[in-house]
Amino acid sequence: LGGLFVGVGVGAGGIKSNVVVLGADQFELPQQQQQQTTFFSFFYWAINIGATGAFLVLTNIALHGIPGIVSQELGFFVSFLLPTVAFAGAIGCFVAGRKNYRLLPPQGSAVLAFATTMRRACVRGRGRLLLGAVVLLPVAFISTVCSFFLKQGSAAQRRFARG
């Protein structure tokens, strides 16, 4: 279960953070500042509209199937198959166009910049509050998952044999 959540988090976080940086590197600044701003706007809206649409459509397919096309029994499988096929197509498009990308080497250290930002946040009062809240996120996540399984277990039938 933990691997599932970590895998989804790393996959989604890795894709979004790297694609947006690669897209931003395709523009010559400051000449194409407006085009880069437009790219960021389209990227933001595409990600959010896609996530909302996927949530609405794929949840419905998982629960009810697609009437006349996919039975309710296969709906859950198809709700995972469709994004898998879409991701495979996206990766294919990405790889096919790789010779057209402008690849810039990284400048500076992202880890050093992150560590500096975290150090500054620890010094400031509001930053300490935010870091404390971030530390409590795993506790909230674990308690939510545990309460779900406890509730599900208490509602389940405990009879294993007919009798």
Distance (Å, whole) CA 73 – CA 126: 50
Residue 120, C-beta contacts closer than 8 angstroms, at least 6 positions apart: 127
Would you say 66 and 78 are in contact if contact means Cβ atoms under 8 Å apart? yes
User: So what's the pLDDT on residue 1?
Assistant: 59
pLDDT score, position 44: 92
What pTM, to 2 d.p., does this model score? 0.59
The confidence score (pLDDT) of residue 17 equals: 80
**Residue 31 Cα to chain centre, angstroms:** 32
Q: Please report the pLDDT score of residue 125 as a whole number.
A: 72
Q: Which among 66, 17, 68 is positioned nearest to 43, based on CA atoms?
A: 17
| CA–CA dist 30, 36 (Å, integer) | 10
Query: Mean pLDDT, consecutive 10-residue segments, the chain of 163 residues?
Result: 69 78 91 95 92 91 93 93 91 92 86 87 77 84 83 60 56
CB 131 within 8 A of CB 120: no
